[in-house]
Amino acid sequence: MKPKYHFFANARFAFEGVLAMLKRETAFRIELAIILPAMIISFFLPIDLIAHLFLLAVLFLILILEAVNSSIEACVDLITPNFAPLAKIAKDCASAAVLFSVILALLVWGVILFSMWDRV
């Protein structure tokens, strides 16, 4: 039987997930070390609200996909601790999603910063 939904209990589970990633995922820690300063810097840029939201959204997207990637890797490792070609494909595709989000973030930041520099 599925337990009843409790907002605070479920929020606690989410924070436990963040702590698990901080403890176990080096990539997450590196991304966070780059993303947090970038988010802070974005507040000081002379850009409009929509551009600022885009800058923040693409950074959050990286963290979201890193969480999904970590969960896929954990599930695959739980199912098969041995090497399996399909397990490798699942892990590689999840990792590719993170890579695509990083590329998107670099493109968005590049376009917005270039347009800001072009106005000067």
Total domains in the fold of the chain:
1
- Whether 88 is in a domain gets the answer yes
CATH number of the domain within which 65 lies: 1.10.287.3610
**36-95 pLDDT tens trace:** 999 999 999 999 999 999 999 999 999 999 999 999 999 999 998 889 999 999 999 999
In a domain, 115, yes or no: yes
Q: Does the residue 44 lie in any domain?
A: yes
Residue type for position 66: E
Mean pLDDT of 94-106: 98
Whether residue 15 is predicted with pLDDT greater than 80 in this model: the reply is yes
User: What range defines the domain where residue 108 resides?
Assistant: 7-119
Position 56 in a domain: yes
| Tokens encoding 93 | 């595709």
Confidence (pLDDT) at 8: 76
> Is 70 exceeded by the pLDDT of residue 120?
no
Mean pLDDT of 10-28: 94
Query: In this model, does residue 1 exceed pLDDT 70?
Result: no
What is the pLDDT, as a whole number, of residue 116? 84
Burial letters 40-52, b for 16+ CB under 10 A, else e: eebeeeebeeebe
Which of 25, 31, 66, 73 is labelled catalytic? Answer: 66
**Domain assignment present for 2:** no
The pLDDT of residue 117 is 81
- Of the candidates 92, 84, 89, 38, the residue with the CA atom closest to the CA atom of residue 61: 38
pLDDT of residue 56: 98
User: Tokens at residue 43, please?
Assistant: 């507040």
Q: Does a structural domain hold residue 1?
A: no
| Mean of pLDDT values over 7-27 | 91
Residues 6+ apart with CB under 8 A from 56: 39, 42
State yes or no: is 25 an active-site residue.
no
